[in-house]
Amino acid sequence: MRIVVVNGPNLARIGSREPEIYGCASFDRFLDDLRQGYSDVELIYLQSNHEGALIDYLYQAQDEGCVGIILNAGAYTHTSIALLDAIRAIQIPVVEVHLSNIHARESYRHESRIASGCLGVITGFGLDSYRLALEALLAKLQCVNSKE
Ligand code: DQA
């Protein structure tokens, strides 16, 4: 079972970027631990600072047989109708995640342009947001498969 984690702009710097907001733990290390904890899942990791590349990753994920996507679109969350359109265009579920609680921050971060196309949103649990998103995706997929 292949699931893709897609990180958007500035998220290659998790661990060193504004640690008081995003924490100081390394994303690569977290991902290694996550992969070990969910050894039956093939977790692919992609990151880009470019909106168009993120859109390409979503289509690529579906075309390559991934069953779900965990997406932290960074600041594009609040601006990108193009990303929303791509999320709506694909048939596999997308969970929106954020390290910080976007609703407890500046007002321009309160709105998500992409949330309406997503299965759900997990925001504010630091790196654990990604694990919670994975759990949510797996529960959803199990539920869908049991009905088939
Ligand atoms: C973020 C929240 C966004 O508002 C911000 O632009 C980011 C990170 C988060 O994970 O908390 O880059 O998506």
Instruction: Check pocket membership of 115 for ligand 1, CB cut-off 6 A.
Output: no
Among the atoms of ligand 1, which is closest to the Cα of residue 75?
6
* Phi/psi of residue 123, nearest 5 degrees: -140, 130
Entry pTM: 0.96
Place of tokens 């790196």: 127
| Ligand 1 center–CA 100 separation, angstroms | 7
In this predicted model, what pLDDT tens digit does every residue of 1-37 receive, in sequence order?
999 999 999 999 998 999 999 999 999 999 999 999 9
Instruction: Check pocket membership of 79 for ligand 1, CB cut-off 6 A.
Output: no
| Residues facing residue 126 across a β-bridge | none
Q: Where are the domains of the chain?
A: 2-147
* Cα three-residue angle 23-70-107, rounded to 5 degrees: 60
Instruction: Check pocket membership of 100 for ligand 1, CB cut-off 6 A.
Output: yes
2-147 CATH choice from 3.20.20.70, 3.40.50.300, 1.20.140.10, 3.40.50.9100: 3.40.50.9100
In this predicted model, what pLDDT tens digit does every residue of 89-119 receive, in sequence order?
999 999 999 999 999 999 999 999 999 999 9
User: In Å, what is the CA distance from 48 to each residue of 92, 105, 146?
Assistant: 20, 23, 35
pLDDT band, residue 146 (cuts 50/70/90)? confident
Instruction: Check pocket membership of 75 for ligand 1, CB cut-off 6 A.
Output: yes
The active-site residue out of 38, 98, 103, 108 is 98
DSSP states along 9-45: TTGGGTTTSSHHHH-SS-HHHHHHHHHHHTTTSEEEE
**Cβ(91)–Cβ(123) below 8 Å:** no
